[in-house]
Amino acid sequence: MFVPSRTESEILLALYRYSLLTIDQLTALLHYERKTLYQAFHKLKEKGWVEPLPLGFIKRHVKGWTLTKNGMEVAFGLTKEYRNRLLRQPPSLGGQAGHLYGSNQFFVLLIKGSLFRPRGEGLIEWIGMRDAGNRYTVTDQKGKKTTPVRPDGMGTYRFSDQSETTFHVEYDTGSEHLWVIHNKLWQYADVLKQYWSDMTLANVLFITREHPRSLRILELWRDMNEEAFRRQPVPAVWTATEQSLLEQGSFGPVWMGTGGQGSFEDFPRLEGRTDDGMIPLGKQTREHPFSNRTARGNGS
C-alpha cells in the first residue's frame, strides 16, 4: 500500500478542499517551488491518485489537477472523513471547471498579493466551494437542514494590526439571470443575520467578467436596500471584474460598493483576535534559513 509523503499529503489535501487547482495555484498556496510540485505530481500520477484536466477556456491551455477515486480515498484517510457522495461525482466536476478555476484564482491572487505585505498579514482561512455553504445551514420547522447560502468560497484575511475581514465570494460568469442574483442577495441578507451579531461586518464579493455586469449587480443591490432592506442592517456587497483584479491586484482600488469605489483594505473588519501564531497561507517556511554548506562552515 502506498503511503503519501509530506508534500504529496499537502497536495492531496489541497485538491480535496478546493476540488481543482493548477500547478501555479498550488505553488502560491503551498509555497513550494514548481520543480518540487512537478516531481510530486509525477509520483502521484503513477500511484493513480490524481489526474489532469485540460482547461481549454484559458488561452495558455493550462492544465488543472483533480483527485481520482483512489486519491479521494487517500484524502479521506488524511482528514478522517468519508463522503460517499464525492466518490459518485463524475470526473468532469459536473461542468464546473471554469467556475472552480475562477473562484479559486481570486484566493490565489490574494495570497500572492499578501507576499509583499508584513509577515503576519495574509489569508488565514479559505473554505472552498464544496464546503462554504455548510457554514450557514438552516433548519426548518420539520427539522430538515438546507443551505440557502452557498458561496463559491469563503475567506478571512488578517491585516498587520490583527484586524480581520471575512468575505464570501460569488464568481459570476454572466450566464445567470438577474433574478438568480436577486435571490442570492436576498438570501445573504436574510440568512447571515442568524449567524452574525453585526451583519454589516460581513462582506459579499461578486467577481464578474464584464464591467457592465458589475454595475448591474450593484444597481440591483442599491434598489433592494432602498426598498426591501431599508430598515435592517445588511452585509457589505462589492463588485469587481476579473480583468481589473489581474491588472491592479486584489489590493488595488478595483472594488465598487454602495458607498463608492475602494480597495480590499476598505472592507468592514472585525476586531483582531489574540495573535495565535497562525502563519498565513502561502507564507509557510519551506527551507532552513542556512544551507548545509553554510552550517558546516560555521562549525555546526
**Which DSSP string corresponds to 192-259?**
GGGT-SSGGGEEEEEEESSHHHHHHHHHHHHHHHHTTTTTS---EEEEEEHHHHHHH-TTSS-EEETT
For 64-122, what is each residue's pLDDT tens digit?
999 999 998 999 889 888 777 766 665 567 678 889 999 999 999 999 999 999 988 99
pLDDT of residue 261: 93
Instruction: Answer whether residue 276 shows pLDDT above 90.
Output: no
Alpha-carbon Rg for the chain in angstroms: 21
pTM of the full predicted structure? 0.91
For 244-255, what is each residue's pLDDT tens digit?
999 999 899 999
Quick one: pLDDT band at residue 295, thresholds 50, 70, 90?
very low
One-letter amino acid at 287 equals E
pLDDT of residue 287: 62
Backbone angles phi and psi of 42, in degrees to 5: -60, -45
pLDDT of residue 297: 43
Each domain of the chain, given as residue ranges in start order, spans 1-95, 96-300
For 112-158, what is each residue's pLDDT tens digit?
999 999 988 999 999 999 899 888 988 877 878 888 899 999 999 99
Instruction: Answer whether residue 223 shows pLDDT above 60.
Output: yes
User: Distance between CA 154 and CA 136 in Å, rounded?
Assistant: 11
Question: Domain spanning 1-95 has what CATH number?
Answer: 1.10.10.10
* Mean pLDDT taken over the chain: 89
Quick one: pLDDT band at residue 277, thresholds 50, 70, 90?
confident
One-letter amino acid at 133 equals G
Instruction: Calculate mean pLDDT across residues 7-11.
Output: 96
Instruction: Answer whether residue 271 shows pLDDT above 70.
Output: yes
Quick one: pLDDT band at residue 290, thresholds 50, 70, 90?
low
User: Distance between CA 98 and CA 135 in Å, rounded?
Assistant: 24
pLDDT of residue 91: 57
One-letter amino acid at 107 equals F
Residues above pLDDT 70, as percent of the chain: 91
Q: Which of 145, 220, 143, 144 is nearest to 189 (CA)?
A: 220
User: Distance between CA 86 and CA 82 in Å, rounded?
Assistant: 9
User: Distance between CA 150 and CA 152 in Å, rounded?
Assistant: 7
